[in-house]
């Protein structure tokens, strides 16, 4: 009887939460006369020390999300014989992706506004580095912003690092380290860079770009819902399907070996995500405040929603569920962070967590794929849903677009069509590109470690180290 009353209470709680979130939407949409009055043309931005400081701090926060945050989050979820292999992948990607970004990655994404790929204006940091003009040091400003190109390059480079690191969770405990290294170099160059240019660099999916006329006028992606979460999550699913299941999957115990690591990593991800989302305002502005608050609210709503669902269907909430829920809420709000008001942010976080909960339980059990750490179930699903919800809830009230046009469906805008185009193209790019890269690498290098090496654990078989040595 006590269990029955508990479950009924949780069910009532879920219903109440849903009604509160839906009821709060009554005042979201503004009437046409409330905002968007035309403003005089703005002068060319001048260097602003506060903006530069905020974006530099945000850059550090986003790097902090890869290590230690993601390293701990993933490291706690694998078995103890593979903990160092996951952390090593994150550390390696912090190093190698930085080199690629400096050599050519930044230029391919942000060099010019061509439809398909950037030009060579920033190759080898040309046009980024400090120069001496004969009298003083000069740091070129990024066009239209009050921060140096160098600061912009550093901030965007941290996204280039964490996106492939997310994918590693799908093939944890079974991919060769050498193959992983080559895969991520190719993936970052051939999939991330073009997609990021299409969305953020003025390409075929960029909001307001003339190249986006055939795709609904361009999509909004404030901090990487399409560029980061859809690309990594969908690519992760392809990796999981093509590598196959881990040895013993479904028949052996594969519980996380240290949920303490995971809980600490999740808390660090929450903090780091403020740099990820609010930093994407690219200045210490009111828009950064909007994105910061939306991010925080969505994370909280996601964590509570996942726990309530576990309480309802499993009888008890879990720390892993709380961590998964807040990350799902964060991933879902990423695309919308600077474009939605605060009550929609709560709804987006809750809807993201509920959808990801179903993906990580019912859907995964139904199709029996081995996405080791639920990268697709959280990032792929939340990124996709977040892109769609942006098309529904986005509002001109935050001022992120600056043109005063109606945006989301709820305020009478037409953005949703462009968001659906971006989702379809992002999925297509990730599926086709990742599949082709894996086929190539399987034919030339092989994807998986030998069965004996997998049973021994990747810490020893790939790195000759152990995470825990008890003397």
Query: What's the pLDDT score for residue 471?
Result: 63
Query: What's the pLDDT score for residue 43?
Result: 64
Query: What's the pLDDT score for residue 250?
Result: 86
**pTM, entire model:** 0.90
Place of tokens 């930085």: 98
* Rg of the chain (C-alpha set): 22
Positions in the chain short of pLDDT 70 = 1-43, 471
What is the distance between the alpha carbons of residues 381 and 416, in angstroms, rounded to a whole number?
17
Query: What's the pLDDT score for residue 8?
Result: 43
Report the candidate in 11, 192, 165, 170 with the shortest Cα–Cα distance to residue 89.
165
Q: Phi, psi at residue 11, to the nearest 5°?
A: -60, -45
Largest CA distance in the chain: 83
Q: Phi, psi at residue 115, to the nearest 5°?
A: -70, -30
Domain with residues 49-463, CATH architecture = Orthogonal Bundle (1.10)
Q: Other CB atoms closer than 10 Å to residue 387's CB: what's the count?
A: 28
């Amino acid at each position: 009887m006590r269990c029955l009353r508990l479950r009924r209470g949780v069910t009532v709680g879920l219903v109440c939460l849903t009604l509160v979130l839906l009821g709060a939407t009554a005042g979201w949409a503004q009437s046409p006369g409330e905002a968007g009055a035309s403003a005089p043309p703005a002068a060319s931005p001048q260097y602003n020390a506060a903006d530069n400081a905020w974006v530099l701090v945000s850059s550090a926060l986003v790097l902090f999300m890869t290590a230690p945050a993601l390293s701990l989050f993933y490291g706690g979820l694998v078995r103890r014989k593979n903990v160092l292999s996951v952390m090593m992948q994150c550390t390696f990607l912090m190093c190698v992706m930085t080199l690629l970004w400096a050599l050519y990655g930044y230029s391919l994404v942000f060099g010019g506004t061509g439809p398909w790929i950037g030009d060579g204006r920033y190759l080898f940091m040309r046009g980024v580095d400090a120069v001496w003009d004969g009298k003083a040091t000069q740091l070129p400003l990024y066009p239209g912003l009050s921060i140096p190109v160098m600061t912009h390059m550093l901030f965007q480079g941290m996204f280039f690092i964490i996106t492939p690191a997310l994918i590693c969770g799908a093939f944890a405990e079974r991919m060769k380290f050498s193959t992983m290294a080559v895969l991520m170099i190719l993936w970052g160059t051939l999939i991330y860079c073009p997609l990021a240019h299409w969305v953020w660099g003025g390409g075929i999916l960029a909001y307001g770009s003339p190249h986006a006329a055939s795709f609904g006028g361009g999509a909004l992606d404030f901090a990487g819902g399409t560029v980061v979460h859809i690309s990594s999550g969908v690519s992760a699913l392809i990796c999981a399907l093509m590598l196959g299941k881990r040895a013993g999957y479904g028949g052996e115990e594969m519980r996380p070996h240290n949920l303490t690591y995971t809980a600490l990593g999740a808390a660090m991800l929450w903090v780091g995500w403020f740099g990820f989302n609010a930093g994407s305002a690219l200045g210490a502005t009111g828009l950064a405040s909007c994105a910061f608050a939306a991010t925080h609210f969505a994370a909280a709503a996601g964590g509570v929603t996942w726990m309530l669902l576990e309480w309802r269907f499993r009888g008890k909430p879990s720390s892993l569920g709380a961590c998964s829920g807040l990350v799902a809420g964060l991933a879902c709000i990423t695309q919308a962070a600077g474009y939605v008001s605060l009550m929609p942010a709560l709804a987006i976080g809750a809807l993201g967590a509920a959808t990801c909960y179903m993906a990580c339980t019912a859907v995964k059990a139904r199709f029996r794929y081995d996405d080791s750490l639920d990268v697709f179930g959280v990032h792929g699903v939340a990124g996709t849903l977040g892109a769609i919800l942006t098309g529904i809830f986005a509002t001109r009230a935050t001022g992120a677009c600056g043109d005063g046009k109606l945006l989301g469906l709820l305020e009478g805008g037409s953005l949703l069509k462009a968001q659906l185009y971006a989702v379809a193209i992002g999925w297509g790019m990730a599926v086709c590109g990742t599949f082709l890269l894996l086929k190539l690498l399987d034919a030339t290098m092989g994807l998986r470690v030998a069965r004996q090496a997998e049973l021994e654990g990747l810490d020893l078989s790939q790195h000759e180290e152990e995470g825990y040595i008890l003397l």
